[in-house]
Amino acid sequence: MKKLSYAALAVSLGLSSASASADVIGFKVGGDYWKADSEMAFADAGTPRQTFETDSESQMSLWLAIEHPVPILPNVMIRENRIETKGYADNADMRFDGQDFTGGVTADVNLSNTDFILYYELLDNDLIELDLGGAYKRFHSDFAILPDDEVGRRYSRDLSSGVAMAYARSQVKVPGFGLYGFVDVMTDGSKNYDYQGGVGWIFDTIALDYKLRVGYREMGFEDTSFDSVNAKTNFKGAFAGIELHF
């Protein structure tokens, strides 16, 4: 039902975005460095989650967007999110990968994913930009347990499914200063989300235009039976990045 709703939304947005379409084909390439605090708890589906103590980790996102002047067709952005973290539980009591674990265990989690985003430019002027559309967050990840009493052993489960989400982005510019504020939101309407907001500076040169940006990002994922894993994770923290326009 959610996929049908997102499809219907995309059609209606396409019909209403003709006046805001790009005049020519354009490309955006960017990257963010993200220093994120993390929280995580997981176990096999159908069993209680084990919570792990974690530290801040450096994460990264890279993206490519293609915008064009055809009103009915959506613009496209692909964003790769490299997200990894480790945690520890000194008195674990959990079941994972079909095994029972007690005592000290290390969790090694790779929650990397790719966002496939289709969106329409509803507004695009000297003051305000507004994009709306839909997205699919595809995970290429794994959760792993390394028990203290089995040195060298690693028990893991791969995640390769995805989550359909609504997508929205807004940017408000301060005329004459090159300064802007922005908000970028992805959500499935329940417990899975990825949002960011901040400020940036626009630089126009003869060769290309580019933006420098800083802000705050939070990504939450929760599912009781996602690829046979019962997981709840959260990553949040400050980021800095650059975006190039061609």
Q: What is the pLDDT of residues 164-173, one digit of tens each?
A: 999 999 999 9
- How many domains does one find in the chain? 1
What are 82-102's pLDDT values in tens digits?
Answer: 999 999 999 999 999 999 999
Q: Does the pLDDT of residue 30 top 80, yes or no?
A: yes
pLDDT over 90 (residue 4)? no
Query: CA–CA distance from 239 to each of 85, 114, 226 (Å)?
Result: 17, 18, 28
Residue 7, pLDDT score: 43
| CB within 8 Å of 1: residues ≥ 6 apart | none
Q: 56 CB contacts (<8 Å, ≥6 apart)?
A: 35, 36, 37, 38, 237
> Does pLDDT of 143 surpass 80?
yes
Q: At 43, which CATH number?
A: 2.40.128
Q: Are the C-beta atoms of residues 81 and 73 closer than 8 Å to each other? A: no
Report which of 204, 206, 185 is spatially closest to residue 195, judged by C-alpha positions: 185
Q: Report the chain's C-alpha Rg in angstroms.
A: 20
Closest C-alpha among 237, 222, 162 to residue 41: 222
Mean pLDDT of 94-118: 98
d(CA 219, CA 37): 11
Asked whether 165 and 109 are in contact (CB, 8 A), the reply is no
Q: Residue 100 sits in which domain range?
A: 2-245
The pLDDT confidence band at residue 22, using thresholds 50, 70 and 90, is low
What digits encode the pLDDT tens for the residues 158-217? Answer: 999 999 999 999 999 999 899 999 999 999 998 999 999 999 999 988 878 999 999 999
pLDDT at 184: 98
**Structure token digits, residue 234:** 């959260």
